[in-house]
Structure 1
Amino acid sequence: MSGALSTPLRLGPLMRHVDETSAAVWVETESAGTVTVTTAAGSWSARTFRVHDHHYALVECTGLEPGTITPYALDVDGEHAWPPADYDGLDLPEPVITTVKPGKPPRIAFGSCRTSVPHDAKGNAIHGVDALRAYALAMGGVTLDPDELPWPDLVLFLGDQVYADITSEAMQEFIETRRSLDEPPGEELKDYEEYAHLYCLAWSDPVNRWLLSTLPSSMIFDDHDIRDDWNTSDVWRRQMAETSWWHDRIVGGLASYWVYQHLGNLSPAERAEDEIYRRVLEHDGDVELDLSEVLDDFADRVDREPDTYRWSFTRDLNGSRVVMVDSRAARVLEPGRRNILDEDEMAWLDEQMQGGFEHLLIGTSLPFLLPESLHHLEAFDEAVAEGAWGGRAGRAAEVVRQGIDLEHWAAFQQGFQQVAHMAAEVAVGRRGPAPRTVTFLSGDVHNSYVSQVRDCPGPGTIVQAVCSPIRNPLPRVVRMGAAALSHGIGAHLWRRAARRAGVQDPPFRWDKVEGPWFDNNLATLEVKPEGLEMWWARGEVHGGRHDRPELHRVVTVLVKPDGSVGALPGDPP
């Protein structure tokens, strides 16, 4: 699959951090070389760097005009690499660099959890229609207006961009060329080389590759990017440390995450300060820079000492702030200190949680506000697992915690309480002028819903919007349990149980406003005069054209300036 469209490229290009005057274009090439991006306005180049015999470049296109839509081409050592002559027979437009238009209200797509399998009848029957592919085809069919781009300004991928622990047939075939599936970790990924192939499978599909080459993206990991239940508890960490393969897995996972996902999240100024990327910028030798050992040592260190590096980041977009929060790698699991964020990460988030923006958008892979019944269940289980009812009950609670994934914000009550108070203070105007909303954007739970804090005492309102999965639906029998919890069944009982285990009540209550729905979806939010509009869309197959799904809205939700939240009436457009 790699290089099928453009020989000099193994993967990419991906359009990553874009602002008013600059754009970052990321690629993986087949060999060492110089990568050049060319537009009508000029050209920019970057040399590749190497990690475990893979070659990468990030081209920083600077001095661009704000609010412009500019086609571009890419070459490697003078050989044309992108765009291809055609996109696997599909009629898609040439890729463009779209800089941020000053004053334009933000429009942002978001979602999580996407498996990478063929877009045929079999793949769609098991994994559902890929909402990202349907979105890409819809984008590709829109005529560009230079005065008003109809696409999102940015897509937020909120975790599980790849599945390192639940692999496809294609990934298993690659693993078998290197080792036996009978040896640990079996069908799961083992090291950097296998991660590199997994990303290639995830991002090589011609349609989604075009979308990624055109639509700016920001990303944050969740557990399946590394392994199910990653950093659930101190017990889980010790169990993993006892295996023969975990060290190579976490080092390969974090090193590849830095290369494939994190590097492109950063602004030019942030990249210039990054401890690893500084080596790329400062390298001036004739031989390609090899970061393999440096990056492995870095990944090993930040896993052992998470407070030595921050994966979280923030972006301000025309009056709204987006804060992307790492709720996985920054966890403190030591008994008595357990928190979803370490002290430095929490202090950083505290600095970002400020008023003075029209909307404060917090991207966190795990829903901050679960359905109340599930929230209190997770809080109760955490208290018991940490010893509230003795050792025997604690061991049983740990089994339950790992067995049914009770490890969201609610299962880290210290961190939940801290951030809940921050959000409340922002909403009531104690941290600067109150925004119209404090909106948490999340994924992970394989269903989508919208919740709202009740009777918020300030001018702002606190909202939770979840979009999951992009392509990885729950089995139907599991959906029934998720739907029951979503509708509050058992909430009162679990609240009482949590209190008896010593759990403090949340500083506010919240209700589900819309949902759940279980389609594969990609959501979009847009700041409008009438409020914050959010809509979820799925792909539908018509006429047996499994590889060309059509995009259809599932529901549209509006958060009005008066704080009311609800679905818009009428059939989805």
Structure 2
Amino acid sequence: MTGPLRLGPLLRHVDDRSAAVWVETEGAGTVTVRVAAHPTGRTDWSRPTFRVHDHHYALVEVDDLEAGWSTAYQVLVDDEVVWPEAGTSWPESTLRTTTVDGPVRMAFGSCRTSVPHDALHHLSHGVDALRTFALELAGGGRGPLGERPDLLLLLGDQVYADSTSAAMRDFIASRRSLDEEPGAELADFEEYAHLYGLAWSEPALRWLLSCLPSLMIFDDHDVRDDWNTSQQWRTQMEQTSWWHGRIVAALGSYWLYQHLGNLSPDARAQDRLWRELGRREQRSPGQEVDLTDAVDEFAAEVDARPTAYRWSYTHPLGGSHLVVLDSRAARDLTPGSRSMLDEEEMEWADAQLTGGHDHLLVATSLPFLLPRGLHHLESWNEALVDGAWGRWPAGLGERMRQEVDLEHWGAFSDSFDRVSGMVDEVADGKRGAAPSSVIFLSGDVHHSYVNEVERTTGSRILQLVCSPIRNPLPRAMRALVSGMSHGARPLGRVLAGSAQVPDPRWRWHGVAGPWFDNNLALLEIDEGRLRAAWVAGRVLGGEDDRPGLVTVSDLELDVPPVGSEHRPAVAHVHPGVVGGVRGRVRRLLERRRDAARPGTG
């Protein structure tokens, strides 16, 4: 994009009193958010830009608002209106504060590659579900829930630093040789900044992010495939010539582009980099602050010492509560005592997982509940690498761990048992009044499904997975995943038993899925009622860049009153209409796409 506004605006953390608006500008200046109306008569909130590696950013906090208040807004740079763009046909961007009462609606998903929206890339990458949803909302639609969501939760792989598009490779080649390490993968902050620009500058998505509040958490491809899988993986990376530069750029840019906007005003005021920015602004009033050295030093430190910073956070959802767990950077990879969350992070999670809410939502990029057979396989592999079958099989187990991505919560058995114990206490009312449900929200695995823990009383415990937004599995891998999901339980139990791995404290079963469409999940919480729908984009006639929204699955999840005896959840499934001619067209497109596609990241 040309002009003063390079990227954004993104509407980020919104609560009942404030809203954060993030932008990247082309140069230094003052960024102003101007609203159409305000109860006190105030119209403008301003913030000077700050600089990191010659890129310019601002996060403007619009405060002193009222609950349930909605208004259109503009963005100005040095008194020039830069958003909305002149002559735009997109609806006006609005911000709306939250309320404590009433239903909560949110969209969530993970794994989105950024490639063009044409016939060729629909064959190789499928239709972008998030962009299609944006087109639906911009055209006046509301999707299967009938209302626009209150929040968009992106659960990892917002960008792919290790599996780059043609446009990204062209940019890299303009700066350095692709024959030099790390080749077509990202090497530094400048390349990350360009990648975020490719991911978030598409007009439909840009409009959506300007008016739908978003929260985010990273997963491995935001950095590199298998990030922090094991200590051996880290050692291998640290022996390369390029890893240090990659991880510093990855974490520094993540703080700027994703994490800063996750924070509430109080949490942001305590953030070490935000506070350093404030100190420098006080020392140099009227001048743009250069925060490059602080960001780079911060990123290097938190990679070397994960306990130095917390990427996890919480967010209120009306009468419910959202806890977002970092299941990547906070790991303890010490052989023999591996943990998905290091001890400090585990203690923090323990303090956040409490009752007293209508529903407790726990977001973790990696599914907490895999199909049980796969969970057993991962637990067996962990024991194998720790020497349960001897030295030689341990090496084989490590190769399997990295090649087959055996790195979910099942591969961190102690962590799984500790967190499931915490959730049991929440569900049994031992940590305050039991919520109607505890819901895990996850992505990562390139297929979607619903699992439920087998309980007879207390809160219902569910796992909802939505993946990918745009990066589908080839058909051959779909068949393998589907077969493993339904048939791996006997093998997994035998292998886990042979390594003397105890059974997990929970038993669970599948409620719906798996399905493999590029999709976006929509969740509605209305007191004890839960409804979840997965939507996707389809090109069935018309222009390739104007797909229509279809419903893949629409589930009503029965949630009985807390304390009553209940049976396992029944999902009343209303699948989207993809039969007849539409089904044949979709299958044809899938075969052509898989033939054209080199592989999945």
The change in CA–CA distance for 1:453 and 1:378 in structure 2 (over 3 A counts) is same
| Long gaps (5+) in structure 2 | 561-565, 578-601
In structure 1, distance between residues paired with 2:225 and 2:253 = 17
CA distance in 2, matches of 1:572, 1:485: 25
The aligned amino acid for 1:242 is: Q
How far is 1:15 from its partner? 0.3
Q: Determine which of 166, 171, 190 is the counterpart of 1:169.
A: 166
Residue number among 137, 152, 157 corresponding to 1:155 in the alignment: 152
Q: For each residue in 1:505-559, what CA deviation from the matched residue of structure 2 results, as whole angstroms up to 9, or x when unmatched?
A: 1111111110000000000101125611111000111323111111111111222
Q: Find the aligned partners of 1:475 and 1:143 in 2 and give their Cα distance.
A: 31
The answer to whether the Cα contact below 8 Å between 2:172 and 2:178 also exists between their aligned partners in 1 is: yes
Q: 2:472: which partner in 1?
A: 473
User: Corresponding residue for 1:142?
Assistant: 140
Q: How many Å separate the matches in 2 of 1:470 and 1:108?
A: 15
Equivalent residue, structure 2, for 1:57: 58
CA contact (8 A) 1:271 1:277 kept: yes
CA distance in 1, matches of 2:175, 2:22: 27
CA contact (8 A) 1:133 1:549 kept: no
Alpha-carbon distance between aligned partners in 1 of 2:570 and 2:471, rounded to the nearest angstrom: 26
Give the count of matched residue pairs: 561
Which residue pairs with 1:67 in the alignment?
68
Which residue number in structure 2 is paired with residue 409 of structure 1? Answer: 409
CA displacement 1:290-328 (0-9 Å, x = unmatched): 111111111011001001110000011111110110000
Residue-by-residue CA offset, 1:365-412 (whole Å, 9 max, x unaligned): 000000111111111011101222221110000000000111011111
Q: Find the counterpart in structure 2 of residue 45 from structure 1.
A: 46
**Secondary structure at 2:570 match in 1:** strand
- Tell whether the 8 Å contact from 1:272 to 1:281 is kept in structure 2 after alignment: no
2:419 corresponds to which residue? 419
Residue 22 of structure 1 corresponds to: 18
Alignment map for 1:131-530 (pairs within 5 Å)? 131-142=129-140, 150-282=147-279, 283-284=281-282, 285=284, 286-454=286-454, 456-487=455-486, 489-529=487-527
Asked if 1:568 is matched to 2:572, the reply is yes
Shift in alpha-carbon separation, 1:219–1:317, aligned structure 2, 3 A? same
Query: Are the equivalent residues in 2 in contact too, given 1:429–1:458 (CA < 8 A)?
Result: no
**Structure 1 counterpart SS, 2:302:** helix
1:533-548 mapped onto 2 (5 Å cutoff): 533-548=531-546
**What SS is found at the alignment partner of 1:71?**
strand
TM-score with structure 2 setting the length: 0.91
Measured after TM superposition, the shift of residue 340 of structure 1 is 0.6
Q: What letter matches 2:206 in structure 1?
A: R
Deviation at 1:571, TM superposition (A): 5.6
Give the secondary-structure state (helix, strand or coil) at the position aligned to 1:307.
helix
Q: Which amino acid aligns with 2:226?
A: D
Secondary structure at the aligned position of 2:551 is classed as strand
**Partner SS, residue 525 of structure 2:** strand
Task: Describe the SS at the equivalent of 2:468.
Answer: coil
How many Å separate the matches in 2 of 1:313 and 1:530?
25
The CA distance in 1 between the partners of 2:150 and 2:300, in whole Å, is 35
Aligned mates of 2:410, 2:343 — CA distance in 1:
18
Q: Which amino acid aligns with 1:445?
A: V
Deviates more, 1:532-541 or 1:98-107: 98-107
User: Per the alignment, in what secondary structure is the counterpart of residue 272 of structure 2?
Assistant: coil
Secondary structure class of the residue paired with 1:546 = coil
SS of the residue aligned with 1:568? strand
Q: Does the 8 A contact of 1:470 with 1:520 survive in 2?
A: yes
* Residue 59 of structure 1: how far off its partner (Å): 0.3
CA contact under 8 A between 1:557 and 1:565: conserved in structure 2? no
- In structure 1, C-alpha distance between the alignment counterparts of 2:497 and 2:303, rounded to whole Å: 34
Amino acid at match of 2:458: P
Report the secondary structure of 2:406's partner residue.
coil
**In the alignment, is the contact (CA less than 8 A) between 2:553 and 2:574 conserved in 1?**
no
Matched, 1:126 2:124: yes
Q: What CA distance in whole angstroms lies between the structure 1 residues aligned with 2:435 and 2:556?
A: 16
Measure the CA separation in 1 of the matches of 2:357 and 2:236: 44
The one-letter code matched in structure 1 to 2:33 is V
CA contact (8 A) 2:353 2:426 kept: yes
Mapped partners of 1:547, 1:514: distance in 2: 31
- Which segment is superposed worse, 553-562 or 241-250? 553-562
Q: CA deviation at 1:142?
A: 2.2
Matches of 1:115 and 1:345 in 2, distance apart? 30
Partner-residue secondary structure (3-state), 1:383: helix
Q: Residues 530 and 436 of structure 1: is their aligned pair in 2 closer, same or farther, counting only changes over 3 Å?
A: closer
Q: Secondary structure at the match of 1:537?
A: strand
2:589 corresponds in structure 1 to none
- Match for residue 586 of structure 2? none
CA apart distance, 1:565:
2.7
Deviation at 1:500, TM superposition (A): 2.2
Question: Structure 1 residues 530, 402: closer, same or farther in 2, change over 3 A?
Answer: same
Whole-Å Cα distance in 2 between the matches of residues 16 and 116 of structure 1? 21
Match of 2:115 among 117, 125, 142: 117
Does the aligned pair in 2 maintain the 1:191–1:249 contact within 8 Å? yes
Amino acid in structure 2 at the alignment position of 1:397:
G
| RMSD of equivalent CA atoms | 1.5
Call closer, same or farther: CA 1:491–1:569 in 2, change over 3 Å.
closer
CA pair 83-200 structure 1, distance change in 2 beyond 3 A: same
Q: Following the alignment from structure 1 to structure 2, what is the Cα–Cα distance between the partners of residues 424 and 195?
A: 41
The amino acid of 1:56's aligned partner reads Y
Identity %: 56
Equivalent pair of 1:115/1:162 in contact (CA under 8 Å) = yes
Change (3 A) 1:75 1:149: farther
Whether the aligned pair in 2 keeps the contact of 1:555 and 1:567 (CA below 8 Å) is no
| Whole-angstrom distance in 2 between the partners of 1:125 and 1:108 | 29
Q: Distance in 1 between matches of 2:70 and 2:485?
A: 42
Is the Cα–Cα contact under 8 Å of residues 514 and 566 in structure 1 kept in the other structure? Answer: no
CA distance in 1, matches of 2:407, 2:456: 29
CA distance in 1, matches of 2:529, 2:573: 15
Other-structure match for 2:593: none
Q: Distance in 1 between matches of 2:211 and 2:488?
A: 46
Give CA deviations for 1:442-470 in whole Å, capped at 9, x if unaligned: 0000000000011x143211100000000
Q: Which runs of 5+ in 1 are unaligned?
A: none
1:570 Cα deviation after fit? 4.6
